[in-house]
């Protein structure tokens, strides 16, 4: 995925785009881990014997995976045939530090046929696009003259300025860190996500529900092994 000098790897090809990795645990562990640096620095450096090249790579990482090798762990309708060891091995392909860098982790269960068929009105992509664009405009306005464009780019110094929490939210965040065992890296990232959720909600301040939702998106860190 990192590739050589002449040939850009997928990481740098995804610059200003989306890098989608389907079935993440099926990738080689080394390849998965090579994502860590670029995700943090937004650049990828390829070092060879006598030279090193750095390419830019601002990309959105999107990945999907099954809960276990057979895919049915945690399902109500299908029986999972994997052993605990197999599940552990499968999930351990995604290291804690990498998971830390993934802001939104969502578990999706099987969709029964009736639901596929249902004609209940859902928000259309067009409507969602409007919402997202609006949130982006709010961010562009807010960060005018700061050399950044979006919440995800906020450096630590500015996080404090723009992601202020009231005392109730602070307490919740504190509790969450203690009880859910979140990492220090997750801290800033949760605040940025909460900021974005607040923007989508057209809210000037980050409210408790925005923070709670942001914390809920970090769900993979803390389950699966106990049942």
Give the tokens for residue 159: 């996080």
Stretch that binds another protein, among 19-27, 50-58, 129-137, 219-227 (CB under 8 A): 219-227
Give first-to-last CA distance, the chain, whole Å: 35
Q: Does 85 bind another protein (CB under 8 A)?
A: yes
Q: How many Å apart are CA 151 and CA 183, to the nearest integer?
A: 20
**Dihedrals phi, psi of 55, to nearest 5 degrees:** -110, 150
Under the binding rule (CB under 8 A), the answer on residue 183 touching another protein is no
Residue 65 interacts with another protein (CB under 8 A): yes or no = no
- Number of chain positions touching another protein (CB under 8 A): 32
Give the separation between CA 170 and CA 211, rounded to whole angstroms: 9
Rounded to the nearest whole angstrom, what is the least distance from the CB of residue 124 to another protein in the complex? Answer: 16
74 binds another protein (CB under 8 A): yes
If we measure between CA atoms, which residue out of 37, 30, 31, 39 comes closest to residue 9?
31
Under rule CB under 8 A, residue 209 binds another protein = yes
| Contact flag: residue 94 with another protein (CB under 8 A) | no
Contact predicate 70/80, CB 8 Å: yes
Q: Which two tokens stand for residue 92?
A: 């351990």
Of the residues 172, 183, 185, 187, which one makes contact with another protein according to CB under 8 A: 172
121 binds another protein (CB under 8 A): no
Token pair recorded at residue 100: 């830390």
Query: Which of 1-8's residues contact partners 24+ apart within 8 Å by CB, and which partners?
Result: 1/31, 1/34, 1/35, 2/34, 2/44, 2/46, 3/46, 4/46, 4/48, 5/46, 5/48, 5/51, 5/53, 8/55
21 touches another protein by CB under 8 A: no
Q: Which stretch binds another protein (CB under 8 A): 39-47, 57-65, 141-149, 217-225?
A: 217-225
Q: Is residue 82 at the binding interface for another protein, with CB under 8 A as the rule?
A: yes
Scanning 47-55, 95-103, 128-136, 170-178 for contacts with another protein by CB under 8 A, the matching segment is 170-178
With contacts defined by CB under 8 A, name the span among 7-15, 39-47, 148-156, 175-183 that binds another protein.
Answer: 175-183
Which residue's entry shows tokens 């390419």?
55
Q: Which residues bind another protein (CB under 8 A)?
A: 67, 73-76, 79-85, 107, 109, 172, 175-176, 179-180, 197, 208-209, 212-213, 215-216, 219, 222-224, 226-227
């Amino acid at each position: 995925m990192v590739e050589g000098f002449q040939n850009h790897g997928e990481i740098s090809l995804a610059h200003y785009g989306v890098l989608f990795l389907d079935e993440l645990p099926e990738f080689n562990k080394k390849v998965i881990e090579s994502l860590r640096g670029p995700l943090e620095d937004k650049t990828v450096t390829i070092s060879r014997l006598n030279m090193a090249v750095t390419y830019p790579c601002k990309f959105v990482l999107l990945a999907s995976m099954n809960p276990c090798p057979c895919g049915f762990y945690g399902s109500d309708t299908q029986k999972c045939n994997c052993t605990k060891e197999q599940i552990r091995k499968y999930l351990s392909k995604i290291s804690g530090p990498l998971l830390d860098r993934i802001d939104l982790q969502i578990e999706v269960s099987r969709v029964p046929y009736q639901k596929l068929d249902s004609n209940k009105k859902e928000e259309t992509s067009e409507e969602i696009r409007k919402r997202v664009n609006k949130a982006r405009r709010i961010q562009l306005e807010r960060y005018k003259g700061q050399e950044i464009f979006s919440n995800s780019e906020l450096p630590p110094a500015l996080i404090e300025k723009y992601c202020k929490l009231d005392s109730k939210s602070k307490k919740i965040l504190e509790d969450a860190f203690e009880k859910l065992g979140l990492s220090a890296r997750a801290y800033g990232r949760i605040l940025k996500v909460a900021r974005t959720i607040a923007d989508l909600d057209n809210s000037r301040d980050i409210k408790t529900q925005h923070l709670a939702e942001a914390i809920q998106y970090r769900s993979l860190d803390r389950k699966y092994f106990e049942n």
